[in-house]
Structure 1
């Protein structure tokens, strides 16, 4: 593009929204032109750049929806998703959505919107996480019929403030692995009491909430006599913000449709 990509950040006052603003402000190929929050937010009117810890951008935190942006990057909350989808659809604006914890009805609403606007939706915008997801699928495909059976467990760790469990990323790992295991796969969340021995067609999930951990996922592939562990961990939130900006750049030239980070990475 010869002119900077104009982006709006939805949830701009949140931890992730601020990092998107900060990284985008340092990228000459994009321009933050709107910073959106709910109409009751205590910081309305504050400069988005100053909130993000960078230079003043002359972009105030506002609840009014912009009409002159190319892409909206959403790092908000499930309660705010419906308005975001509606506004992007009505203004014909591309949407990168990274919010997790959506209801089935909201997911269906997002899919409906993708008939008229291009959407990238992924539970994790991290490039490393998405590459690890592809590796997890490949390992599952090659080992699912190994003699003695293949046991798969997903352990995710996040900060104490995270409201949903297991993480959307852990669930996405499980869905992608289940595609390679078969239709009879069971998803088991935690274990307690006399559970009996592990069945061969289950994926186990375990959520850990500790300190300020920005996100870590370990996929354990256990066999008789050996095991493989895939571990992908963030040391800060910039990987998610950078991935979202990369998705926005990729999305701008795409037709209406539902895309994910595998599409962005061309995997």
Structure 2
């Protein structure tokens, strides 16, 4: 049995993970961490990591970038594998995660915990290689009106994956209204839409002469991200220190 410490347990995603964890016989949430302890959970919840004395095998974090520093310090001190699913991390935090933290403990980090989104990334990488220099590339992401970061981490991950597959590096263009000139061939447009209760929608548009290819993923509920995080915790529990992503989980599953 894999024992889980759920960081951000009283947030929306934390509660979805709590509910869905009952469907996984291999694991059990034995403790939670959240600065707001106003929800009754079937496990003890700590408002400070310093007070957490629970015996756990993996940490799942779906909280806030502000919790990054104390969380990774706690995970390293206790030598606990960390599934980091929080969005909106700064480039500095991601660098620390990749160059420092993952040298000490196993870290699972993905901009999006959905299996479908990660398959989309594989598809757009292949498409970009074939269509390079012939098609303009635009990324449009849509999320609910409560999402703070823009563009989404997933949109940036898609752009990075495309860029890595191209022979030449493309520039990211976030705001054409500030640049009054024709579109450059070597740019990737990234656009953010915020409204209503949209869970998450990502479209990659390859626009060529007289034809358009569009690859799209739409999330209909938060459950797909929760399931991905729970599967990642099972995957990570037996791993050595290092940085792992959804691609490794997918390949091991297959």
Which structure dedicates a bigger proportion of its chain to helix? 2
* Residue 76 of structure 2 corresponds to residue 89 of structure 1: yes
Match of 1:53 in 2: none
C-alpha separation in 2, matches of 1:224 and 1:174: 22
1:47 corresponding residue in structure 2: 40
The alpha-carbon deviation at position 195 of structure 1 amounts to: 2.2
Selected match of 1:105 from 84, 88, 92 = 92
Deviations 1:231-262 (A, max 9, x none): 10111100000001111111111110011111
Question: Is this contact kept in 2: 1:214–1:234, CA < 8 A?
Answer: yes
> Does the CA-based 8 Å contact 2:140-2:192 persist in structure 1?
yes
Distance 1:132 1:103 in 2: 24
| TM-score, reference length from structure 2 | 0.93
Once the 2 structures are TM-superposed, how far is the Cα of residue 100 of structure 1 from its aligned partner?
Answer: 1.6
- Greater Cα offset, 63-72 or 14-23: 63-72
Name the CA shift for 1:18/1:223 in 2 (closer, same or farther; >3 Å): same
Gaps of 5+ in 1: 49-56
Task: Compute the displacement of 1:103 (Å).
Answer: 1.9
Asked if structure 2 preserves the Cα contact closer than 8 Å seen for 1:95 and 1:120, the reply is yes
Instruction: Tell me, in whole angstroms, the C-alpha distance in 1 between the residues paired with 2:179 and 2:93.
Output: 37
**Deviation beyond 4 Å, 4+ runs, structure 1:** none
Distance across 2 between alignment mates of 1:194 and 1:238: 39
Q: Deviations over 1:197-256 (max 9, x none)?
A: 111110001100011111110000111121111110111100000001111111111110
- Correspondence for 1:136: 124
**Deviation at 1:193?**
5.9
1:65–1:87 Cα contact (<8 Å) kept: no
Correspondent of 2:244 among 259, 262, 267: 259
1:216 aligns with 2:213: no
Shift of 1:106: 1.5
Following superposition, the deviation at residue 61 of structure 1 comes to 2.3
The alpha carbon displacement at 1:32 in A equals 0.6
Counterpart contact for 1:153–1:220, Cα < 8 Å: yes
Asked if 1 retains the 8 angstrom alpha-carbon contact of 2:84 and 2:110, the reply is yes
Using structure 1 for the length normalisation, give the TM-score.
0.89
Write the distance in 1 (CA, Å) between the matches of 2:86 and 2:129.
29
Task: Tell me the residue number matched to 1:116.
Answer: 104
Please state if 1:62 is matched with 2:49: no
Number of equivalences? 248
